[in-house]
Amino acid sequence: MTIPVNIAALGARAAAMIEQLGAIPSAPDTLTRFFLTPEHRRAADLVARWMGEAGLSVSEDALGTVRGAWHPAGPEAPRLLIGSHIDTVANAGKYDGTLGVILGILAVEAVARGGLTPAYGIDVLAFGDEEGTRFPTTLSSSAACAGVFLPASLQARDGDGISLGEALLAYGKNPDDIAASAYDPSRVLAYIEAHIEQGPVLEAEGAPLGVVTAIAGASRLSVTVTGEAGHAGTVPMRLRRDALSGAAEMALAVERIARAGADGMVATVGRVHVEPGSVNVIPARVVFTVDLRSASDASRRAALTRFEADAHRIAEQRGLGVVISAFHEVATVPCYRDIQRRLGDAVASLGLRAPLLPSGAGHDGQAMAKLCPVGMLFVRCKGGISHNPAEYASPEDMGMAAAALIRFIERFQQPPSDGGTSGAQT
């Protein structure tokens, strides 16, 4: 059956709910909502209320994930999972994460009240630790649902010295119950997440919605370049061993590699520390970071190999030392081709074109992919701005995203199949 949709009404409701959640910050005029804080509690309670009003059965697991369940075929039937997160970065925008939770609630409410009776159930999930802003952990909530939570994470401490385990207890949770939060993989069909793009591609293409091909893998490096300090006025240029000049050339090298790379490759040098850091002293030591991402693990590894070779060549030419160490590695998560197709068909049913594009940002889908097939729907955001108070998606675009999810659910009668592969189309 086809559920009637009113895109304008869905968009208006999404916008109103976005404003309500956005009014739960830790300080006036600044949206900061960290994991397991009083602000997180208030946001979780509001989401739980919305789920209940939408006709869902509400529960909350040991990592604080709010779950809204709609099981028309009974509690033993397989489930489709739809979700995102309600925690934020510091001084955040209102749409990152929270939009996906809101769209999931609106979509399931519409199909439930429209009389759809599928042979599967749906759980809408509101995760709490996607951003990793309070503790040196990330995706702990979705990892618990996927059954891959690492108990050692309970020892991670925030800036005030409070451990994750202690914060859970203060939040009213029992860490001993975390294992029970995991879904049974045999009873989960797929995980779907709607999210603002956090980039400018959809806006540039004039498309309100897009289908994600893969969540990019990421490598982070710490690069230490050593030279020799000297007086800024007395050492001739030809005799200098300037660590900063060498580091700058290496930074340009990684930029050049990423520009020539495929699969949506991007690279960023985001942090630079210079010693001794005096205006009249030649830099003797520089430590900088590299964040390199790609929707293909093979292309990312090849780029890292090229950068390492270039860095050592630059160091040798300049008489410098260089040490490169990796401190973060996340594999690419391909979105299932069959789910990409189904999401694309749902968007097309609204008379829209859905470009295929990778996600350069991380998402809860990275953890959920260890449980089941995953797919993502991107929503256009103004200027591609995210993690910023200027973050914005129009009510019309949000309404179309809710309608696309409704159409997806209507057509989702069988488990996704990739013919033996989950590779992304890029």
* Average pLDDT over every residue of 230-246: 97
Contacts for 7 with CB less than 8 Å, ≥ 6 apart: 350, 396, 399, 400, 402, 403
The pLDDT tens digits of the residues spanning 330-375 come to 899 999 999 999 999 999 999 999 999 999 888 999 999 999 999 9
pLDDT > 90? residue 327: no
Alpha carbons within 13 A on the beta-carbon side of 240: 19
Alpha carbons within 13 A on the beta-carbon side of 280: 3
pLDDT at 421: 43
Distance of alpha carbon 51 from alpha carbon 6, whole angstroms:
20
Band the pLDDT of 25: cuts 50, 70, 90. confident
Distance of alpha carbon 348 from alpha carbon 332, whole angstroms:
27
Tokens read off for 220? 């982070």
pLDDT at 420: 41
pLDDT > 50? residue 80: yes
pLDDT > 50? residue 46: yes
- C-beta of residue 110 within 8 angstroms of C-beta of residue 406: yes
pLDDT > 70? residue 422: no
**Picking from 17-31, 66-80, 102-116, which range would have the lowest pLDDT averaged per residue?**
17-31
What's the mean pLDDT when you consider all of the chain? Answer: 94
**Picking from 22-26, 72-76, 313-317, 390-394, which range would have the lowest pLDDT averaged per residue?**
22-26
Dihedrals φ, ψ of 377, to 5°? -115, 125
Band the pLDDT of 215: cuts 50, 70, 90. very high
* pTM metric for this prediction: 0.87
CB atoms within 10 A of CB 268: 15
pLDDT > 70? residue 131: yes
Dihedrals φ, ψ of 216, to 5°? -60, 140
Band the pLDDT of 27: cuts 50, 70, 90. confident
> Which amino acid would we find at residue 88?
T
Tokens read off for 238? 């030809």
pLDDT > 80? residue 229: yes
The pLDDT tens digits of the residues spanning 164-201 come to 999 999 999 999 999 999 999 999 999 999 999 999 99
